Every structure is written in structure tokens, then in C-alpha cells.
A and B are shown apart, each in its own frame.
Chain A
Amino acid sequence: MARKVLVLGEVRDGSLRNVSFEAVAAGKTASEGGEVVGVLIGDSVSALASEMIHYGADRVVTVEDEKLKQYTPDGFSQALMAVIDSESPDGLIFGHTAMGKDLAPKIAAKLESGLISDVTSLEEAGGNLVFTRPIYSGKAFEKKIVTDGLLFATIRPNNIAPLEKDESRSGDVASVAAEIKDLRTIIKEVVRKASEGVDLSEAKVIIAGGRGVKSEEGFEPLKELASVLNGAVGASRGACDADYCDYSLQIGQTGKVVTPDLYIACGISGAIQHLAGMSNSKVIVAINKDPEANIFKVADYGIVGDLFEVVPLLTEEFKKLKVNA
């Protein structure tokens, strides 16, 4: 069934986040030969429209307003509802990001629709569009379908491959007028403390530390390795509970669930609650002094040794690799 699917692009620091292109690819699958319409909301976003088209959107609709400079649920839902009213879509796809998680349920409640969150893949099967998503933080998976109304899903970053970029593609870019008013939540200040640039949920490489890092300073060698690999630093609950790092870095069933290409676990024993957050990473490396540590059971490669010896050596070795490449 050909559908019209709206895909919400997400802008950060003036550029589109990667998950926007993954969402376009998901939208393409969901559209089943219909139309994929990119939606961009912000104070000045129309310059980014062509990139959504290069990645597979057929056309783009923008809503621009000074009050949309920062995301707020009221502002963005007013903008999006204006687009939904004018486009009458059959489907909606957002990224399962801080913004998507916050906004999608509000839109679903307004439309009295279902919403399938945190989707890792979707496919047409037996006349249905089937969405796969992790449950119990990835300890199991479920396949879901929409039984009534709009197809609405948020997709987890890093799981659905974007379509190949084609700069020769072109499409219509139009703006929709929306009255943005009565914002009930006002952002007074944004304190940036996220791991220098690379976000955990979108990182291709994650270097994570556990109790074995022993202190806040103990994270330094991990940070150096992360910077060489352009990755992000994460942590186990043990490390967070011991105050070696901020809770925002926690990976696990409580904390973030991540699926990078490469996960290097340093001094992490591998409690079930931690494994739930990272065991679906593509390649896992474990570094631990204890050869019996649980983490080795899920690791593709393991080194039994002291992380304070191994990690700096790894950093040097990766530096050499980069020079030679």
C-alpha cells in the first residue's frame, strides 16, 4: 500500500543529525512506493532541506519561527500539527532521540494514534509493515504492527542504514505557516557537558569504563582512546554509583542502550544489567584483569590484563594505524 510518510529531521548545531537520514530510509520502506516528505522545524532550517532530499526524501516541508530556535514540546507540536493538518500523512517517523522520545508521545496522544518506539528495523511482511524493537533493554525483541490508524514510529539511531546520498536528486521545498504561541516550558539555559561532541546514542565507537577505572581520573586514558577513535566515553552502573563519572554516561538496563560498531569495555565485569545495554553492539572488546569476568562471554575479542596498561598501548597502536592509513 503506497503511503505518504512524514519524516522529522533533527537539527543540532546547524546541521542535520545522522538519525534524520536513517529516518528517511525507514520512511522510504514504510512508504512502500508512496511519498517521503521531510519535515524541518526550527528558526532557520530551509538551507538543510536539500540534504534530506539527497538522502531520499521526495520533498521537504519547513516550519520556521524564532520561537522554534530551541526544541520545546509545545512549540514543536504546534509546528508539526500544522504540517500534519496540511499533509494528512499515512505515516510518521522520528528519531528515537531525546527530542523524538519527548515529542512523539505528545503527537500520538493528540492524534489518538498508536506509536511504536525505539524501532531497530522495519520490513514489509505478509501484507503488514512489521516493526522490530528491543524489549527488556535488548534481552529480547518484539515484532509489532499497527492495527488501527496512523503508522507512527521512532527509530533508534545507528540501526537502520541511510540510503546512499545522491546530490543530483532534487525536490520541492515549501514552508508551512504555524502559529507558535503560549509555550509553557521555557529553556533558560543549556549546560553542555556531553562527552565532547560525540553523543553516546549515535557514537560508532564507545569506550566504557567500570569499577576497574577506580577513580574519576581513571577515565582519562579512556577519554584519550575515545578521542583517537572519534568515539564517546560510557560507563557501567558500578562506575556511576561510585561517583567516578556522571550518570549521563551510564550504559545498561537503567541508563542508555547503545549499539555502536565497536564497544570497548574496560574494567567492566559484565553484570546482566550492563550487558542489556550494550550486548547488541556489533563488535565487543573486553579488557579485564579477571579472566572469569562475565564480560568475556559476550566479547568478540578479549585481553586479560590491567586496563591502565592495555588502554594506553591501544591508544598508541590506533594512532599508528591512523598515520599509516
Chain B
Amino acid sequence: MNIYVLMKRTFDTEEKITISGGKINEDGAEFIINPYDEYAIEEAIQVRDANGGEVTVVSVGTEEAEKQLRTALAMGADKAVLINTEDDVENGDQFTTAKILSEFLKDKDADLIIAGNVAIDGGSGQVGPRVAEILGISYVTTITKLDINGSSATVVRDVEGDSEVIETSLPLLVTAQQGLNEPRYPSLPGIMKAKKKPLDELELDDLDLDEDDVEAKTKTIEIYMPPKKEAGKVLEGELEDQVKELVKLLHTEAKVV
């Protein structure tokens, strides 16, 4: 089976966000594999181990994403591809990324493509379904279970807490929701092996794309921090009185109940 994973390098979830010069300040920040993409990588490895084949992890970004791609290889992926857009794309959006990824994937005959359902930085969740549509294959988003049987697949999709059991066939793109699996940590032998696994680097030129072909359709004009929340009122006294006061405050002062 020919399996591809779409991966993004993101800020660690425990990082505080600050802004300098109108941009998110990246100095000294820790970066990780987008947590939902970790589920995607883990699932791809499990599907390969059960069905045979190869897992290729692809990322669009800068050369800094090599570190996260190596981690994916250390987890057990077979190959990695970095599509380095540093010199060509300054302000891409989801149209940009999906166009680049689908251009890369169009002649790869992927049986299965797995992505995270959303990246925890931009949070739009568009790239997976966009890529599937451009490639002309079907997709299921926010999945919590995937069973592959020959060329058919049974998928459980999380729909705001409810579960849909969906039957479909390959080729297929799915996006991972939390609960799909428990991503493994790279083992020491895995890390050693990863150093020798192929990590190719491509640029737009290699995909026969021009900057104009991938020019964003939307633009960010401002980034700002939400107003800082003042610490509120911690109530005092007997517990029962505190509870009475709280209900009164919520009713009369905050007016939310």
C-alpha cells in the first residue's frame, strides 16, 4: 500500500504566544509535529504494518521542518519529503499549501493519504479536504477509527461527539481526530535508523509551479493578542455562603444565568 501523510511543523502547545513586529514571535519557541499529524503518522505506520507498503511523510515549509520529518522517520515512516517554499512563498494560505501538495501527489498513485484534521496554529482544517478534492478522491474528516479491507475502508467519523460509521473505498484521504490511536515515541534504534532514511527536498520549480500559480487568495492584515484577562474575584467565607453569593453574582452582575 502506498501511504502518504501530510505533516505540519507547529508551535508546541505549551508555548506562550507573543507578537513582535506584527508577527508571531518565534524566537526560542519549541516546535513540534502538529499533534493531530502525529495521530496521522501513527495510523499510517499501523496500516502499513498490517497491509504492507510504504509510508511517505510530506511537509510544506522551511528547512526547519527537517527536524520534525526526521522524528516522523524515527517513529517508523519510510521516507520523507520536504517541499521547501522559503524562497518562493512569502504569504501563502490554505489554497497555496493545498495546491502545492496536490501537485506533488498527483502522479504518486497514493492509496491512502492521512492528515491531521486541523493544525493547532492556523486552525483552519482546510488543507486535507482541499487536497482530496483537487486529486479527485473521496475523503472523511475527523476520524477516530480506520479499518482497511482490500480496496474498501470502514471509517468512524467524530461528528461533534456523535460517531458516524462510514463505508468507502480507496484511494481515500482521511484526517485524524484525537482518539484515533496513541502515537508512539521514537525508539533509540528508530532514531538511529531515521538518519539513514531518505529525506528529499523539493522546491516549487521541481513541481513545475510558479509563484503565481500558488498565490494566496486571502491575506492577513493584522495579528493581535486578545485583551488580557484580569484575575477575578475569589470568594471567601463559609462554602455554602460562597455558593449562594456566586449564584447571585452570576445572575445579577454577570447576567449569564
Residues in A lying within 8 Å of B, measured CB to CB = 73-74, 97-98, 101-102, 104-106, 108-110, 112-118, 128, 130, 133-149, 184-195, 199-201, 205, 229, 240, 246-250, 252-255, 257, 261-262, 271-273, 276, 279-280, 282-285, 291, 296-305, 309-310, 313-314, 317-318, 321
Contacts and interface: CB of A to CB of B under 8 A. Distances in A.
Contacts of A148: 215-217
B161 A199 contact: yes
B221 to A, nearest CB: 5
Given A98-B159, A105-B133, A187-B164, 20 more contacts: A97-B160, A102-B129, A106-B139, A114-B95, A128-B221, A135-B223, A139-B16, A139-B225, A140-B226, A142-B220, A185-B138, A186-B166, A188-B165, A205-B257, A247-B178, A248-B160, A261-B256, A272-B16, A273-B14, A303-B239
B162 A191 contact: yes
Contacts of B16: 139, 272
- Residue from the set A102, A118, A303 with the largest chain B CB neighbour count within 10 Å: A102
Grouping DSSP codes into helix (H, G, I), strand (E, B) and loop, the A interface class, with mixed when no group exceeds half, is mixed
12 contacts: A102-B129, A105-B126, A105-B130, A115-B218, A135-B123, A144-B221, A148-B215, A185-B168, A190-B159, A273-B14, A296-B232, A321-B257
Contacts, number: 269
A310 to B, nearest CB: 6
Contact of B123 (A134, A247, A249): A134
A147 B129 contact: no
A34 to B, nearest CB: 21
Nearest to A12: B160
B217 A149 contact: yes
Grouping DSSP codes into helix (H, G, I), strand (E, B) and loop, the B interface class, with mixed when no group exceeds half, is mixed
B19 A140 contact: yes
A21 B121 CA distance: 28
Contacts of B160: 97-98, 194, 199-201, 248
Contact of A137 (B123, B154, B167): B123
B237 to A, nearest CB: 10
Nearest to B118: A101
A282 B124 CA distance: 23
- Residue from the set B167, B226, B257 with the largest chain A CB neighbour count within 10 Å: B257
A188 B246 contact: no
B234 A193 contact: no
A313 B239 contact: yes
A186 to B, nearest CB: 5
A116 B13 CA distance: 23
Contacts of A138: 226
B125 interface: yes
A-B pairs with the 5 shortest C-beta distances? A114-B217, A194-B161, A109-B133, A184-B138, A117-B124
A246 B225 CA distance: 32
Contacts of B225: 139-141
B257 A229 contact: yes
Nearest to B116: A254
Contacts of A262: 250, 254, 256-257
Contacts of B120: 136-137, 253-254
Contacts of A142: 220, 222-224
B242 A303 contact: yes
A317 B220 contact: no
A110 B129 contact: no
B234 A140 contact: no
Contact of A313 (B93, B122, B221, B243): B243
A141 B35 contact: no
A193 B233 CA distance: 36
A142 B226 CA distance: 10
A301 B178 CA distance: 31
Interface string B230-257: 0111110001101110110111001011
Given A117-B126, A193-B161, A310-B239, A102 B141 contact: yes
B24 interface: yes
A249 B138 contact: no
A249 B239 contact: no
A282 B227 CA distance: 13
